Amino acid sequence: MYPTYMGDIYKAVPPAIKRGSAELAVLSLLARESLHGYQIAKQIEQQTGGALRFDAASLYPVLYGMEKRGWVRGEWERAGGRRRRYYSITAEGRKKLEPLRAQWRDFFRALNRLAGVANA
């Protein structure tokens, strides 16, 4: 399970693209501030106007995968009377962010050239 996007249409998108979009979304948020998992899910939902949503079962495998690759780092902190695992972007993650953005820009440009998505 990856982010829900525009209802059922997203189900047809290949997993690699879903995972890539999830990683871009998470890295973009963490480049601004450290957040815990729920805050990441909420901010993605709010900032995409509800078009992109993570549930818990989708979010954490993505976060753990990025942590394993050294793009983000999770640290336990106490907040609101409860321990939370805050994620922050690492130097490696920052290095990865720009190429990821460029890849997605190229991807949408190519899709636009092919299907005229922007003018549809």
Partner 1 sequence: MPDWEQIVTERLGRLRLSPQARREVISELAAHLEDQYSEACAAGCPDPLGETLAQLAGWESLGTRIRQTREDPMSYRQQVSIPGVVALVFSGVSQILVLRGLVSWQRSNHWDYPAQSATLLWLFTFVLAGSVGAAFARRALAGPRRRLLAAIYPSFLMPVIYVVVWVVSRFSSGPGILPLLGLWLTVTVACALGALPWMFGASRSEQPQPPATA
**CB burial of residue 88 (10 Å; 0-12, 13-18, 19+):** middle
CB of 109 to partner 1, least distance (A): 31
Q: What span, in angstroms and rounded, lies between the C-alpha atoms of 69 and 79? A: 26
Q: Which two tokens stand for residue 58?
A: 């989708």
Task: By CB under 8 A, tell whether 38 contacts partner 1.
Answer: yes
**Nearer to partner 1 among residue 85 and residue 109 (C-beta):** 85
Task: By CB under 8 A, tell whether 18 contacts partner 1.
Answer: no
Q: What span, in angstroms and rounded, lies between the C-alpha atoms of 19 and 104? A: 12
47-86 residues in contact with partner 1 (CB under 8 A) are 55-57, 59-61, 64-65, 67-68, 76, 82-85
95-114 residues in contact with partner 1 (CB under 8 A) are none
**Nearer to partner 1 among residue 50 and residue 102 (C-beta):** 50
Q: What span, in angstroms and rounded, lies between the C-alpha atoms of 67 and 5? A: 24
How many CB atoms are closer than 10 A to CB 104?
14
**Nearer to partner 1 among residue 32 and residue 68 (C-beta):** 68
Q: What span, in angstroms and rounded, lies between the C-alpha atoms of 70 and 77? A: 19
**Nearer to partner 1 among residue 61 and residue 117 (C-beta):** 61
Interface residues toward partner 1, by CB under 8 A: 1, 36-38, 41, 55-57, 59-61, 64-65, 67-68, 76, 82-85
